[in-house]
Structure 1
Amino acid sequence: MIVVTSSEIAGTARDASGPGWESRRMIVRDDGMGHSVHETRVKKGAELHLHYKNHFETNYCISGEGEVEDVQTGKVFPIRPGTIYALNKNDPHILRATGSDLLLVCVFTPPLAGNEVHRKDGSYAPVE
């Protein structure tokens, strides 16, 4: 059984951040679960241009307000507590925290190692 708290991850190699976001990687590849689970905060006013070419991602909003834009269609979806969105086609997207910080639970398949940050194209490197 794996039991971990967010406060235990704070300040470790599994506490990643970049411009406008920070993410505590609670479950990672080495845990052997086949997915990774992250507690991610997107700062109010942040606009993240992302394209997970090598991963599928599902996000569940715990708190905050924002929106996600499907780059290919231009369609914008509001994000509020209780909203889930899944990038099931490696969708290029723009994530915005509009009204306040967004707090998300994110699940990645394949799992992240835990210390990744976004590359210039908004993706994470392929799994080794």
Structure 2
Amino acid sequence: MIVRSFKDIEGTDRHVKAASGTWESKRIVLAKEKVGFSLHETVLYAGTETSMWYANHIEAVLCVEGEAELTDDETGEKHWITPGTMYLLDGHERHTMRPKTDFRCVCVFNPPVTGREDHDENGVYPLLTEPEEV
């Protein structure tokens, strides 16, 4: 059993701040736990814009605080995301988030991330793996 709090991971390598300066993420469950998914609390900052494309992952996102506009960059369709709203990127959709306020969400990734990922120039997380233990 693993018991861990967000407070436990503040300031550690599990507390990732994007090079873009538009978000930070506390990665509470990672690939090294070997449970088949990763779990994060992410905050996207008010007034920013982040374009993403999880070409290598499926992501489910549950908003717990704040408001943001989610745009499906492939169709142009827009959605207003507020607390209690979930979106699932089950088709690897390219998308853009525009938070009106600081936007706090809980995210689940499959396959799990290692904690070292940041979006590349295309908004993609590379598919990183943990080294096998011998």
50-59 or 112-121, which deviates more: 112-121
Match of 1:30 in 2: 32
Q: What corresponds to 1:88 in structure 2?
A: 90
Per the TM alignment, residue 32 of structure 1 is displaced from its structure 2 partner at its CA by 1.1
Aligned to 2:74: 72
Q: Cα RMSD over matched residues? A: 0.8
More strand by share: 1
1:46-77 Cα distance to aligned partner (Å, 9 max, x none): 11010010000000000001111001110000
Q: Which residue matches 1:125? A: 126
CA distance in 2, matches of 1:35, 1:67: 26
Q: In structure 1, what is the equivalent of residue 60 of structure 2?
A: 58
Structure-2 residue corresponding to 1:47: 49
Equivalent residue of 1:78, what SS? strand
Q: Deviations over 1:14-50 (max 9, x none)?
A: 1111121000000000111100000000000111010
Structure 1 position 10 matched with structure 2 position 10: yes
CA distance in 1, matches of 2:127, 2:41: 21
Identical-residue share of aligned pairs (%): 39
The DSSP-based 3-state class of the residue aligned with 2:8 is helix
Name the TM-score, length of structure 2 as normaliser: 0.92
List, as ranges, runs of 4+ consecutive aligned residues in structure 1 with deviation greater than 4 Å. Answer: none
Unaligned runs of 5+ in 2: 130-134
Number of aligned residue pairs: 127
CA contact under 8 A between 1:15 and 1:115: conserved in structure 2? no
Runs of 5+ unmatched residues, structure 1: none
Q: 1:115 Cα shift?
A: 2.3
